[in-house]
Amino acid sequence: MTALQQATEVVDPVPGADAPHLPTPPDLVQLLTPEGQRLEHPDYSIDVSADELRSLYRDLALVRRWDVEATALQRQGELGIWASLLGQEAAQVGAGRALRPDDMAFPTYREHGVAWTRDVDPLHVMSLFRGSDMGGWDPLATRFNLYTVVIGAQCLHATGYAMGLQRDGAESAALAFLGDGATSQGEVNEALIWATTFDAPVVFFCQYNQYAISVPIERQSNVPLYQRAAGFGLPGVRVDGNDVLAVLAVTRAALAAAREGQGPTFIEAFTYRMGAHTTSDDPTRYRLASELEAWKLRDPIARVKAYLSRSGLADPAFFAAVDAEGDELAARLRQGVLGMADPAGTEIFDSVYAEMTPPLAQQRAEFVAYHQGFES
Amino acid sequence: MSTETLSLGKALNLGLRRAMEDDPKVVLMGEDIGRLGGVFRITDGLQKDFGEDRVVDTPLAEAGILGTAVGLAMRGYRPVCEIQFDGFVFPAYNQLVTQVAKIHARSRGKLPMPIVVRIPFGGGIGAVEHHSESPEAYFAHTAGLKVVAVSNPVDAYWGIQQAIAAPDPVVFLEPKRRYWEKASVDRDATPGPLFASRVVRGGDDVTVLAYGPMVKTVLQAAEAAAEEGRSLEVVDLRTLSPLDLEPVYDSVRRTGRCVVVHEAPLTLGLGAEIAARVTETCFHSLEAPVLRVGGYDTPYPPSKLEEEYLPDLDRVLDAVDRSLAF
Ligand SMILES: Cc1ncc(C[n+]2csc(CCOP(=O)(O)OP(=O)(O)O)c2C)c(N)n1
């Protein structure tokens, strides 16, 4: 069997579907099947209370509701673009909930679900996509870095941050997010080298969502991504990215190991981008609708709902309440976006340097005078 | 006759197609350029017709795109690399500056580098960070690279073919906000040279220079100025490295006034070099200092502020007024 066949091994065939098939446990860590059945894994057990489970469900449902509203707002011209997380809720919420307050997350541009778990106001994320600012949240206060659009750059930042934690003797870790496409970037490979040679307390969380815009994994790797880790000298774990419990368990363990001085881990979260790459993208050009249909059967939220219902941990009233909360959230976000004031023109100049330089101050003054000329 | 109305994007597509038909060594490389046809659809349909070996969806790695292009060029291929957006050229910048630009000189001409780097550049499309930049000065500052910026479908159609046929590496800048602008293109015509600037509107009072997306803006400004009785001569620079300033000098010697317009930040932008050369060459003809209109010396702002950041018709006319007021 070639490495490529291994990567796409048929394990749980979905009738008539073209979906990449899920690899098998135990190589794939799964604690909750798509049907909502609880499994045990020899290396990753997790004890979640009923409250915790319900609150995980709530996070998943609310970030999806946020995402749906943002997509609608983009369609109505209120956002310039939106990068949907649809389908990746469990990967993001699971990873985000594994963080402790003192850990630091380094997102790409799609980690709205992680932002949510860090209590970043969704409006601060949406203002970026509206074009009002570059992200309005405080990256240090929230311990959620600003979005990084240049693919892969944040992996080195996370590694350096982790090296800082290490120097300071802080028992915290950094969590770097990246996509499958990003693994091809030189900088990501450098980050893995730095992280391992310095034994930095950083975890690389790669959401393998099957595509880098239109490009499938075959163009980025001929081995499963988690297996690459071995060559760099760090453990690689493949987790069902649509299983919030498994993601939580695996990420928690990796972060704990990092905090304890056991060095970095590479996590591959096997998932699927159910929406377009962004609202500018047209996925019908490069993938079949049947693939999406197949992945819908592995929906990350449905399985938690199934488990909660079946095990009697949540009743219809609970789900109705979460739905209602989602609608309230959506209404608040819509109102917030519609009410966003446009930034003042002088903001172009105001944060370029710690202290405004004389030539820039002059440009700013000319800018102000020029615009006043139109008013008078 | 094969004259038809084409958008700038479609003209590029047809130009690439023709270059591939003319020379089997032409290979297109880039992210999402195959099945998707590129995020701007410039390579639409080319992979279907020329196959995956000639229209290559690459790994997501710009250093890899340019670095492997060097090796392919050494094997006699003519790689045409697409960088998805201006702000994503920087992972490839090392290869471009330290290798692509210098290999011809290093090898004393034994290793030609006929590589084209297509970059959609400039702002005005309401995008997020890194999707609206004008990095041309970095390349024009690098000896060994040629840099051109097209402004219209005719130049796009011929220019891309000429760039591919050129023996040197060419950074080929495409004004992304003008991809949908249309013009009539005669595909049987004989094109003028690629590395030449061109007077695109005659006038007597002020010479205004632009390239890429700003050419249209400046032509609109010239139209507005004409209504107020001021006559602007507009030069489309077209080639940024090497610069072709003879037509500019001829013009400035007549008008005595010169304004340079670009989206890129002012400091050490193309305008600075041009102002210096025009001043050195036309000093005695100048009635006013050469003025520059550009982006501010700041990072490209969030899109809600880009109208304030980008030179527009009013800022061009304001500079024209200031020039005339000297
Ligand atoms: C250096 C760089 N090159 C190109 C791009 C354009 N681009 C934006 S997203 C993307 C694909 C990213 O794929 P992946 O890393 O798998 O993450 P995903 O979007 O699937 O979450 C590309 C090519 C970019 N942002 N940065």
Average pLDDT score over residue span A167-183: 98
Give residue-wise pLDDT tens across range A117-157.
Answer: 999 999 999 999 999 999 999 999 999 999 999 999 999 99
pLDDT at residue A16 tops 50: no
What SS3 state is found at A199? coil
Residue whose CA is closest, atom 13 of ligand 1?
Answer: A212
CATH 3.40.50.970 in chain A, residue ranges = 3-343
Domains B3-186 and B198-325 share a fold: yes
pLDDT at residue B229 tops 70: yes
Residue whose C-alpha is closest to residue B21's, from B50, B41, B57: B50
Q: Mind telling me how many Å the CA of B91 is from chain A's nearest CA? A: 8
pLDDT of residue A19: 57
Atom of ligand 1 minimally distant from the CA of A182: 15
Predicted-assembly ipTM surpassing the 0.90 threshold: yes
pLDDT of residue B45: 98
Q: Distance (Å, rounded) from C-alpha B116 to C-alpha B20?
A: 13
Average pLDDT score over residue span A167-185: 98
Reply yes or no on domain B3-186 having CATH 3.30.360.10: no
Query: What are the catalytic residues of A?
Result: 273, 277, 286
pLDDT of residue A99: 98
How many A/B residue pairs have CB atoms within 8 Å? 108
Average pLDDT score over residue span B124-141: 98
Q: Mind telling me how many Å the CA of A359 is from chain B's nearest CA? A: 9
Q: What is the torsional sign of CA A31, A34, A38, A39?
A: negative
- First vs last C-alpha separation in chain B: 50
Mutating which of A219, A351, A372, A374 best tests the B interface, going by the most B Cβ atoms within 10 A? A219
Q: Which of A129, A213, A217, A221 to mutate to test the pocket of ligand 1 (most atoms within 8 A of CB)?
A: A213
Reply yes or no on domain A3-343 having CATH 3.40.50.970: yes
pLDDT of residue A14: 40
Q: Which of B104, B131, B141, B262 is catalytic?
A: B131
pLDDT of residue B250: 98
Asked if B206 and B290 touch (Cβ cutoff 8 Å), the reply is: no
Going by C-beta distance under 8 Å and a sequence separation of 6 or more, which residues neighbour residue B215?
A: B151, B152, B200, B234, B236
pLDDT at residue B47 tops 70: yes
Q: Distance (Å, rounded) from C-alpha B193 to C-alpha B183?
A: 19
Q: Where are the domains of chain B?
A: 3-186, 198-325
A9: left (phi over 0), alpha (psi -120 to 50) or beta: beta
Reply yes or no on domain B198-325 having CATH 3.30.930.10: no
DSSP state letter for A144: B
Task: Enter the pTM of the model.
Answer: 0.96
What SS3 state is found at A197? helix
Average pLDDT score over residue span A75-82: 98
